Amino acid sequence: MSEQPKTYNRFNIAQRFEHFVLILSFTTLALTGIPQKFAQAGVSEAIIALLGGITAVRIIHRVAATIFVLEAIYHAFLIGYKLIVMRIEPTMLPGIKDGKNVIDYFLHNIGVKKEAPKMPRYNFAEKMEYWFMLWGLIIMALTGFMLWNPIATTRILPGVFIPTAKVAHGWEAVLAVAAIILWHFYNVHLKHWNWSMIKGHLSREEMEEEHSEELEKIEKGDFRPLPPAQVMRKRSQIFVPIASVISLALVLLLFRFITFEQTAIETIPPVEENVEVFLPQTPTPLPPGAATPTPAPVSTAATTWDAGIGDLFISKCGSCHGSLGGLSLKTYADAIKGGKNGAVILPGNASGSPLISLQDSGNHPGLFSAAELEIITNWIIAGAPEK
């Protein structure tokens, strides 16, 4: 290659599209996942509220996770094709040389080594990210499945795997997000803005700094040639059907995974025990009133104070009239004398006696029965005799 192009192609449009899907799903997962891990933090609450509440956040997280895994399946298919059918160099495989590069890079940076390491198509920084991502994908998918389907998981595994999965899922996420911010953002955006995932190519200077080994190879024209078209066709006739079946199986498996259980995400009204809220105790029956005054000694024959009228007054009226001030009805003399407002019994004049008129009106705490009142009335008419 004698002519030196100003730019060097690194990623074709399909690869760039993959990266774009990855950015979207990863960012969404991080935005909806990290606030779930640190749910008590104010920032998390703000994010969750912004996204429409925790239920919405969980649904978004699961959708993004599904897209992420779909992308992984697609990627696996593509890598399989490239490695098996096209037999391209497995440039992403890490080797001892990458370890050396790391050390040389560090030593060069701190000024111990003059020469910067010459790095291949994928330098150690990129390999680190790629394999960290793969490790993360496996951890996150496995633990994510456990958290998504705890009942199915505990049919096979001990229950403690669920909280373990939660711990691993959360901290792995923290590691991934922190690594992206620290490592990816620095190397690809801060150090200088790397356009290769957007425009697809790098400048010569960028290639020199980051992929000088590959640059040399390109300049030397040192490529592994593609296999003959015939061989490729033959291989792909075997690879494509097998890989398609596997991919399809993986997609179906994924679908099965994400629709396995519902209790984790569905919101159903809580089942609460039904208790009778108002169930009064059997009310204590009211005490059965004071024993009704025994009418026995009083008969129609009682026609004098001593023969029963006195007892009737004492039993019916004595608790007030005789124990309190005012009118006393305890003795014959007191009864005839009357209270502070004068006589209440006018012998011979029943209808004129205040006692009778008061009893007739009913406005008195204690009342004679009709029969008793008749006896009293007759007694007064008879002159209210003592004996």
Partner 1 sequence: MGTFFRRRLPSLKPAVILLAFILIGAAALMISSGDAQAAPQAQQPDNSQCLTCHQQEGKTLELSDGESLSIVISPAMFGGSVHTKLACQTCHTNIAEFPHPENSATSISEYRQQYENTCANCHPNQVSETADSAHAKIRNDPNNPNAKNTPTCIDCHNPHTQSEIQKDKNGKLTGLEHAAATRTCAKCHNQIAEEYAQSVHGEGVLVDNNPDVPSCIDCHGVHTISGPTGSGNQFRLSSPQICAKCHTDESIMGKYGLSTQVLNTYIADFHGTTVTLFEKMDPDQQTNMPVCFDCHGVHNIKRVDDPSKGIQIKENLLVTCQKCHPGATPNFPDSWLSHYIPSQNRAPLVFYVEWFYKILIPLALGGMGLLVASDIFRKATRRKSKPKTAEVEEKSNQEGGSAK
Chain positions 59 to 98 lying near partner 1, rule: CB under 8 A, are: none
Give backbone dihedrals phi and psi of 203, rounded to 5 degrees, phi first: -80, 165
Count the Cβ atoms, other than its own, within 10 Å of residue 338: 19
Binding of partner 1 by 289 (CB under 8 A): yes
Binding of partner 1 by 166 (CB under 8 A): yes
CB nearer to partner 1: pick between 110 and 296? 110
Cβ 133 to partner 1, closest distance in Å?
A: 13
Binding of partner 1 by 343 (CB under 8 A): no
Chain positions 223 to 252 lying near partner 1, rule: CB under 8 A, are: none
322 near 328, Cβ under 8 Å?
A: yes
CB nearer to partner 1: pick between 326 and 383? 326
Binding of partner 1 by 171 (CB under 8 A): yes
Binding of partner 1 by 2 (CB under 8 A): no
E strand or H helix that includes residue 2: none
Q: Of these, 266, 296, 301, 387, which contacts partner 1 (CB under 8 A)?
A: 266
Chain positions 105 to 144 lying near partner 1, rule: CB under 8 A, are: 105-106, 108-111, 125, 128, 132
Query: Could you give the CA distance from residue 112 to residue 204 in angstroms, rounded to a whole number?
Result: 26
Cβ 368 to partner 1, closest distance in Å?
A: 16
CB nearer to partner 1: pick between 228 and 287? 287
Q: Of these, 1, 13, 229, 271, which contacts partner 1 (CB under 8 A)?
A: 271
Chain positions 296 to 325 lying near partner 1, rule: CB under 8 A, are: 319-320, 323-324
Q: Mask 196-215, x = binds partner 1 (CB under 8 A)?
A: ---x-xxxxxx---------
Cβ 286 to partner 1, closest distance in Å?
A: 5
E strand or H helix that includes residue 202: strand 201-203
**Site size for partner 1, by CB under 8 A?**
84
Give backbone dihedrals phi and psi of 313, rounded to 5 degrees, phi first: -60, -45
**HEC string of 145-175?**
HHHHCHHHHHHHCCCCHHHHHHHHHHHHHHH
224 near 89, Cβ under 8 Å?
A: yes
Q: Of these, 67, 102, 141, 381, which contacts partner 1 (CB under 8 A)?
A: 102
Left (φ > 0), alpha (ψ -120 to 50) or beta: where does 371 sit?
alpha
Cβ 262 to partner 1, closest distance in Å?
A: 10
For 214-242, b/e burial (b = at least 16 CB within 10 A) is bbebbeeeeeeeeeeeeebeebeeebeee
Cβ 246 to partner 1, closest distance in Å?
A: 30
Look at the block and give the residue holding tokens 């990210």.
129
Q: Of these, 74, 77, 81, 161, which contacts partner 1 (CB under 8 A)?
A: 161
Give whole-number Cα distances, 258 to 56, 67, 246, in Å: 16, 11, 18
